[in-house]
Structure 1
């Protein structure tokens, strides 16, 4: 991701560039990044608003989205989350950042030694394949050996990821109405959620 490009988009929005002009800058750039072959990681580490931004800002991360996963109840919502956990799902370019690096960042981004006060905010790694499972276990065990403490993070296979409500997606950016209104003029909410450029700006 070209951070000069992202900065220029921010400045254009601040100084009132039309939605059409913004679209001419953002859409081709998104199309280029959307051609990358990506892999996906899914983590729970507390309220998902923060990780949506912090992971989205990483070099090699293409896009992020937040949702609910890890439980058995069907169709969870924020007001009825059941046995699910708030999670961030990350599409990344493995040629730029590895799954191991993402797991290490995950552990460095929250206190994985503490008991979660609710399932909603649990420390959780949901692996997508056997390689991810092995990597997550290795990093967890290494951390336990280094700190001589038991890591409370649950590691389990992802069954299904339920996308959270629109107002949770890129939450920090949506609080900046001067930016949000520009973007919603030029793209649908689904495009906003999945835009690589928006993921970086949100971070």
Structure 2
């Protein structure tokens, strides 16, 4: 197994985690916060727009079973990258579309996927940002839909590739 990590923000982290957890090659995922200025942010602070953080999903995957590029494609299929500061009914900067890349290779692969989407006529407002500290979210947010038996309302798969 060749374990790698990726960090994606695409609206409600409950739905994003659900979609990534069910993807081939994903070993585990964690929801949390990244991209802001506050250390150890709490959900209520992020929700109140006082931290600058986005709700995000840290995805750990087996690079022998899937690739960062494949996860990027999934990322773009589970949200609307044309929206800024929100996804569907979830409005606010914490729900922005952003890839927090961990190295230059991830940045280049994300840029290539974005270029492909734009060639196909899709509008993409997704930000590419070097990853900073990922702050793990509260336990009650982890694997929310598995705990509640529900299904994501905020992420619908749209075939783009």
Query: Which bin holds the TM-score, normalised by the shorter protein?
Result: 0.7 to 0.9
For the pair 1:153 / 2:122, whether they are aligned, the reply is no
Q: How far has the Cα of 1:115 moved from its partner?
A: 2.0
Instruction: Name the structure with the higher helix share.
Output: 1
Residue matched to 2:21:
56
More moved, 149-158 vs 84-93: 149-158
Give the TM-score, by structure 2 length: 0.83
For the pair 1:168 / 2:141, whether they are aligned, the reply is yes
- 1:143 counterpart (117, 122, 126): 117
Residue matched to 2:58:
89
CA distance in 2, matches of 1:40, 1:72: 22
Q: How far has the Cα of 1:74 moved from its partner?
A: 1.6
Q: Which runs of 5 or more residues in structure 2 are unaligned?
A: 86-90, 150-161
For the pair 1:126 / 2:91, whether they are aligned, the reply is no
- For 2:117, what is the secondary structure of its paired residue? helix
Residue matched to 2:159:
none
Residue matched to 2:81:
112
For the pair 1:46 / 2:5, whether they are aligned, the reply is no
Contact persistence 2:13–2:31 (CA under 8 A): yes
CA distance in 2, matches of 1:173, 1:103: 23
More moved, 167-176 vs 38-47: 167-176
Give deviations 1:27-66, integer Å, cap 9, x for gaps: xxxxxxxxx3300010001000011111111121100110
Q: Which runs of 5 or more residues in structure 1 are unaligned?
A: 1-35, 177-203
CA distance in 2, matches of 1:102, 1:144: 18
More moved, 125-134 vs 66-75: 66-75
For the pair 1:74 / 2:64, whether they are aligned, the reply is no
Quick check: which has more Rg, 1 or 2? Answer: 1
Q: How far has the Cα of 1:174 moved from its partner?
A: 1.9
- For 2:120, what is the secondary structure of its paired residue? helix
- For 2:108, what is the secondary structure of its paired residue? helix
Equivalent pairs, count: 140
Give the TM-score, by structure 1 length: 0.66
Instruction: Name the structure with the higher strand share.
Output: 2
Q: How far has the Cα of 1:120 moved from its partner?
A: 0.6
